[in-house]
């Protein structure tokens, strides 16, 4: 069984992960299969 994973990267203060998360959710990727990388 294959699983799809998502990756969100935010590299500046004016970026927001919400748009990227929305796009991944539209592809039916589950929250527990999404990695978020924030650089501050």
Q: What are the catalytic residues?
A: 11
Query: DSSP code of 33?
Result: G
Cβ neighbours around 28 below 10 Å, total: 8
CA 20, CA 27: separation in Å to the nearest integer?
A: 11
């Amino acid at each position: 069984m294959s699983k799809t994973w998502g990756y969100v990267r935010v590299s500046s203060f004016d970026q927001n992960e919400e748009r990227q998360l929305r796009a991944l959710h539209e592809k039916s990727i589950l929250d527990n299969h999404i990695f978020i990388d924030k650089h501050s």
